[in-house]
């Protein structure tokens, strides 16, 4: 915090400079209340296109739109002061041309106040990363399992095993050389993630990768245990909020059915009374 009491926000160059230093703490957020919870603890807050599956019940991220991303990013921005806000570019919003990528990225930044965008893909989008960064748009890259290519991969399976490791290595190197300030490594074997982290000059952010990465990211709803039936290997649950919420809702339903709620303290009488110096209405 500055001398004037104003929180100094983290920037993409700050993140780039953290290579090999204290690990970067990253989480997703899709709403203002959650943004307020994570902002003080995280270096990066990502509005991921995973919002489509987490909040909208979609079967994949492929039908998430730019308008959806802008809506959620605006909400998250209102709850943040410190962390770097990064927003996913959704499927179909940047692959067609360099001009399309710039136009949509610029709109996303202008309308949400985010400081960077995230693009999925490796060597195939290196030219796009170079084009955007040269025009003032910081880019976080994402290689390994890229959910927007789920149909190409045939599912959400580990990438980079065996001979395929060289492809992931080339992708990580390509996005680094193109100017990305960091790169997410998703669902790649631990030795490969460690090798990439040691060799490329930008921070790596792991999800199902390696503790050797320069940072880690999880979907906040996963680590809070809000989904009882979704337990991927790479997620550590720090609490079971889904179970607690279910029990609370069940207790509420029972109270309503038995007329225990609302009780006398939850309803209003005929005559207003003074409460702590104020008149009740």
Respond yes or no: is residue 279 known to be catalytic: no
Q: Which of 86, 85, 80 is nearest to 35 (CA)?
A: 80
118 marked ligand binding residue: yes
CA distance 86 to 26: 10
CA distance 191 to 177: 22
CA distance 281 to 278: 9
**Rounded to the nearest 5 degrees, what angle is found at the Cα of 215, between the Cα atoms of 55 and 16?**
110
CA distance 73 to 279: 40
270 marked ligand binding residue: no
- The catalytic residue among 163, 186, 271, 279 is 186
DSSP code at position 92: T
C-alpha 110: how far from chain center = 19
221 marked ligand binding residue: no
C-alpha 14: how far from chain center = 18
49 marked ligand binding residue: yes
- Known binding site: residues? 49-50, 88, 118, 120
Q: Which residues are annotated as a binding site for Mg(2+)?
A: 49, 88, 120
Which residues are designated catalytic?
A: 186
Residue ranges of the annotated binding site for 3-methyl-2-oxobutanoate are 49-50, 88, 118
């Amino acid at each position: 915090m500055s001398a004037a009491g104003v929180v100094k926000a983290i920037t993409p160059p700050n993140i780039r400079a953290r290579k090999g230093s204290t690990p970067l703490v990253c989480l997703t957020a899709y709403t203002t209340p959650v943004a307020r919870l994570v902002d003080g603890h995280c270096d990066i807050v990502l509005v991921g296109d995973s919002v489509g599956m987490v909040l909208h019940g979609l079967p994949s991220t492929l039908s998430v739109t730019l308008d959806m991303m802008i809506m959620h990013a605006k909400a998250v921005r209102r709850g943040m002061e410190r962390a770097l806000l990064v927003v996913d570019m959704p499927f179909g919003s940047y692959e067609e041309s360099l001009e399309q990528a710039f136009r949509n990225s610029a709109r996303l930044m202008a309308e949400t106040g985010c400081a960077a965008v995230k693009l999925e893909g490796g060597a195939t989008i290196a030219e796009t990363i170079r084009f955007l960064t040269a025009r003032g748009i910081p880019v976080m890259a994402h290689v390994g399992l890229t959910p927007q290519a789920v149909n190409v991969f045939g599912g959400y399976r580990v990438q980079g095993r065996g001979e395929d490791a060289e492809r992931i290595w080339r992708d990580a190197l390509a996005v680094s050389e193109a100017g990305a300030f960091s790169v997410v490594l998703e669902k790649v074997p631990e030795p490969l993630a460690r090798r990439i982290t040691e060799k490329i000059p930008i921070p790596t952010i792991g999800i199902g990768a390696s503790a050797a990465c320069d940072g880690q990211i999880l979907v906040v709803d996963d680590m809070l245990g809000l989904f009882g039936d979704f337990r991927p290997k790479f997620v550590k649950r720090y609490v079971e909020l889904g179970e607690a919420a279910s029990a609370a809702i069940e207790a509420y339903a029972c109270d309503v059915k038995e007329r225990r709620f609302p009780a006398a303290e939850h309803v209003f009488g005929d005559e207003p009374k003074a409460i702590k110096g104020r008149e009740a209405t």
